[in-house]
Structure 1
Amino acid sequence: MNKTVNINLANILFHIDENAYNKMRHYLESVKRSFANTSGSDEILADIEARIAELFHEKLANERQVITTKEVDEVIAIMGQPEDYMVDEDIFDDEPVKASKEPKRVKKLYRDIEAKYVAGVSAGIGHYIGLDPIWVRILWVVFTVGSGGSFAFIYGLLWILIPEAKTTAQKLDMRGEDVNISNIERKVKEGFDEVADRVKNVDYEKVGNKVKSSGKTFFDTLGEIIMFFFKIIGKFVGILLILTGGAGLIAMLVGFFTLGVFDTIHLGPLNLYELVDATDTPFWIVAIFAFLLVAIPLFFLMYLGLKILITNLKSIGAVAKFTLLGLWLISLIAIMILAGKQAASRAFWDSAITDNEYYLNNPNDTLNIAFVSNDLHWNRRTLNIGDMVVSYDDNGKEILSSKDVEFNFRTSKDSLIHIEIQKNANGKSFPNARETAEKINYDYTLEGNTLELNEFLTTRRENKFKNQEVRVFVYLPKGMALKFLNNTDNCWRINTKNDSDINDCDVYDYKWIMGNNGTLKCLDCPNKEIAISEDNNHVKINANGIDININENGEKGKIKIDEDGIDIDVNDNGESFILKIDENGIHVDADQN
C-alpha cells in the first residue's frame, strides 16, 4: 500500500503516489538546474510544467485516479531527459538532431496573435493547413466581397470559437511541433532573441510619441469592440444550441424508451407499425436507426453550445467523434434503404374486376337502391386512419374496414342490370397489387326489386394498408325507374347525372328514371320558377302558371294563366279592358269612358 500526495501542477490538482512523486520532483529539479543560467528560464519551466500537466490529464480516466510511476516514466520519455541536450545549442550546430521518442503531433487550430492583423484567425488557419497567411487573408477578402459581407460574420464566429495560442506549448501545437523540453527551450529563446533585436533597432523617439498619442492600435481597439459584441452573440447562440439539443435529446430518449422498451406502440392487440410497414423489418431495429439518426446531431448541437460557453471544456476525443459519425452514417443509409423499400412496396397500382348480370321479373317495377353502412365495424374500431378503421368481424378476427367506396350509375346497353365491382390496391409489382386487390371483400345483394350496396370494404389485417378502394358501376336499362331509399354517409361518393341539377347528396329525395348516357330524369322534382322583376313590373313562370304584371306611367296591364283559367286586365289612361276565361265561360268587360 503506497502513500499518495496531492500536487499542484500548472494550477491543476493531481493525486500521485509517493514513489512517483519523488521521481517527478527529482526530474523537475534536474530540469530547473539545466536552465539555471538561461534567459527566460522561468517561462521555460512554466511551459514545461503546463505540458507535463496536460500529458497527465490525458492519461487519467477520471480526476480521482492516482498517478503512478508508470505514468511518470511515460511523460518523462515524451519530454526527454535534461542530459539529452545542452542549453548552449551553438556548440552542437553540426550534430544531427536526435529523433523524438514521441510520434509527430497533429496540428491544433489556434489563433496566432503574434502574426495577427485583426485577431490572428488567418495566421492560425495558415499554420494549420500549411499555407502562407497572406493567401488566407486574400481568400477572406474575396469571399467576403463575393458573399456580400456574410463571411465577415463567419470570421467573427471563428474569432470566438478558436482559442489564441498563449503558452509556448500551444504555439508548438499550432505548428505541429513536439512539445518537449528541447522545443520549449528553443521557442522561448527565439522569443527572447526577437525581443532583443527589437530593442536594439527601436526608434525610441517614435515609440515615445506613439505612446503619448495612443496606447493601442486602431485594430486593437476596433477588435475589442467587435469581440465584445460577438461574445454576447456567441453566448446567446451557445445557450440556444444547448436548449435545442438538450430538449431534442430528452424528447428522443423519452420517445425511444416509451415506444421501444415499454412497447406502447401496441394499442391493445393492435400493432400500428406492422399495419403500415411493408418491409417486414422488426420495429426495434427501425427505432434504433431512427433514434441514432436524430439523436446524434442533437448531441453534437448541444456539445457545440457547451464548447461556446465553456472554453476549457474537455474534448470527447477523436475516437468518440468518429464512432458517432460512423453510427450516424450507418443509420442514415439504413433508413434510406428502408424508406426506398417502403415506397417500392406501393409503387404499382392494379385492379381486380368482377361483372354480374341480373334480370328483373317485372322490369316496370321501380328499383329501390339502399346503402348499407359500416356502423358495426365503426363501433368495434380500435383505431381509425382516414377512411380506414381497424375493427373485428363477428368471429373476433381483426379486419380493416374502409369507406373508400364510390358508386356510379350508368345506362345499360341491353335490358339487363349489370353490376361491375372494381377493386383497386397498391403493391410492389402489378401482380402483387392485383393479388392485394383480390383480397378485398365487398358485398351487395339484389333481392326482388331492392339493391343493397355496402358503402364499405373490408380486408384482413395481414394485407396491411395498401390504399385499398372499391368502385361500383351499376348499369340500368333505359327507362327503368329507380328510387334511392336512403343516403350514404359519404353522399359525395355517389356519381350521377340528372336533368334537374339536383346535388348527388339530395337524389334520394326524388324518384328517377334512367335516360340516355346515364342521365337520370326526375319524375317528381319541383318545376323551376323563372322570375324577372324590375320595380313594380314582373314576369313569373312556375308550377302555378304564368303571371305577367306591367305598371308604367299610369298604364297597367296584367296577364295571368293558371289552373283557374286565363285572366287579362288592361288599364290604359282610364280605359280598361277585362277578359276572363274560366270554367264558367268567357267574360268580357270594356270601359272606354
Structure 2
Amino acid sequence: MKKTLNINIGNTIVHIEEDAYETLTIYLNEVKFHFAKSADNFEIVTDIENRIAEMFSDLLQSQQKQVIDISDVRTVTARMGSVKDFEGEEAEEQGFHAEGYDYSGVKKLYRDTDQAVIAGVCSGLAHYLDMEDRWIRLIAILTVLLGGSGVLAYIVLWIMIPKAETKSEKMAMRGEEANLRGFANSYLQPFVTKSRGFIAEAFDLLGKFVNGTGRVVFKTIAIFIIVIGSFGLIALLTSVVAFLGIWDSEVTHMFPFSMVNEEYLSVLTLGAFLTTAIPLLALVLFTVRVAFSNRPVNKTFSLVLLIFWLTGVGITIFHVAKISSEFKENAEFSQLSEVKPFAEYTLQIDRTRFFTKEDSLQYHIDPSNYKGRKILSASYEDFNMPTSVSLSVEKSDNGRVSITQNFSSKGLTFEDALTNAQNIQYTFLQRDSALSFSPTIHLKKNANWRDQEVDMVLRVPVGTKLRTNRELSRYLSLYNYWECEHDENSEFIEFIMTEEGLKCQRERAEEESQR
C-alpha cells in the first residue's frame, strides 16, 4: 500500500500517491522556472494548475477511483506537454489522445463575452464556425428585420450556450489545445480585439448607400420623437393648468378624482406633473444631442432636472401613501325599510335622479323651487364610481316584505370609515309593485371616494313572484341569471320564492309537472 497525500492544486483537493506527487512537483517546478521571466508568470502557472486539476478530476471520475497514481500524472503531463516541447523553434509538438478525452484542438461552442456586443452569442458562433463575427452579426440583424425571429433565437442561444469563463474554456472556444504551448501563446498573443458598435458594423457591411440611408432614417425617427415629445410636454402643461383652473366642487364627484382629498390636489398635481414631464423633457434633449449635436447637456442643468424629478416622485409617493392609508379601516351600518306587500314585484334599474338637498348645496339653487324635480343630465355622469351596488333576494322569516340596505366604506379610522359610509346617497323607490334601484351610488358634497358600497337584501315571503329586467342581472348576486332565460326577446325574467330559496319560474313549473 503506497503512502498518499492530500494536495491543493487549482483550488481543488486531490488525493495523490507520494511518488506521483514527487513527479508532479518536478513538472510544476520546471514550468514555474520556465515562465519565471514572463510578465504574466503567475497567471500562466495558475491557469496551468487549474487545467491539471480539471484533468485529474476527469480521470478520477472516468475511472471511478479516489487516488491519483504515477500513471495518471504521466498521462496528464504528456497531454500538457513538457517545457522542452517549445523551448526551440523547431521542437515538435507532442500530442496525446485517450478514450473519453479530446485535446486535439477541436472547437467547443461558448459565448465570447470578451468581444460581446450584447451577450457574446454572435462572437462565440463566429469562433465555432470559423467566420468573422461581423458576418454573424449581419445575419442576426437581417433575421430581426425580416420578421423578428432573430430576437427569439438570440435569447434561446443566450440561455443554452455557456459563457467562456476560464482560460481553458476560452482556448477550447478558439480551437487551441489546452497544453503548455497553448497557455503560453494565449498570453504572448492575447486574443483581444476591439469590438465595434453593433449598428456601425452592420451599416459598414451593407455599404455606403445603406449607411447613408440609415443616417436619414435615424434622424427621421429622432425628429419624430422630438416632435411627439414636445407636443406631449405642451399638452401635459396645458392639461395641468386647465385642470387646476376648472377645479371646483363638481369635479370631486368624478372618479378617480373623487379619491383625492381637495387639500392634496394642487401639490399632488404638481408632483405628478414633475414625475411625468421631466423624463419626457430628458428624452427630447437626449434625442437632440445624439442626432444633431455632439455637445453634452450642461451638467448643472441635468442635476437640476434630476432634483426636480426626485422631488416630484417624492411628493407623489408621499400623497399616494397618505390617500392609501385612508382605506385601512372598514365600517358599515344598516337601514331597514318596509315594502308594501304584493303577490308579484317588478325589479328594475332606474337611472332617474331626483333633485336633493345636497344637489341644492352643490349647485347653489333654492331647493324649494326644485324639490322633486328630476335631473335629466349631469356633466359628471360618465365618471361615476365603480360598480358598488349589489342586490340579493332571500326568504322572509316573518312573512313581511322588507329591504335591508347595508352601507359600507373604508377610512383612516373606524369613525372616518363610518362617516364615509354615511356620505353615501342611494336611491331606492317603490311605485306600487315596481321596485326601482339606482345602478350607482352618489356621494355628498366634498366627500371622497373610499370604496363605498351598498349591499341590499330583499326579503319576500314564499310564493312571491319577481320579474327582473335584463339590466338588473349584473347587480343581482348569488343567482345564475342566464339559466332562467327562456325567451331572448323577453325583457323580463321571472323568479319565484320557494321554501328552498329563489328559483326560476320555469324551473318551479317543471318540478310541479313532474309530481
| TM superposition score category, shorter chain reference | 0.3 to 0.5
Q: Which has the higher contact order (CA 8 A, sep 6+)?
A: 2
- Bigger Rg, structure 1 or 2: 1
Q: What TM-score do the two structures reach when normalised by structure 1?
A: 0.42
Q: TM-score of the superposition, structure 2-length normalised?
A: 0.47
More helix by share: 2
Give the strand-richer structure, 1 or 2. Answer: 1
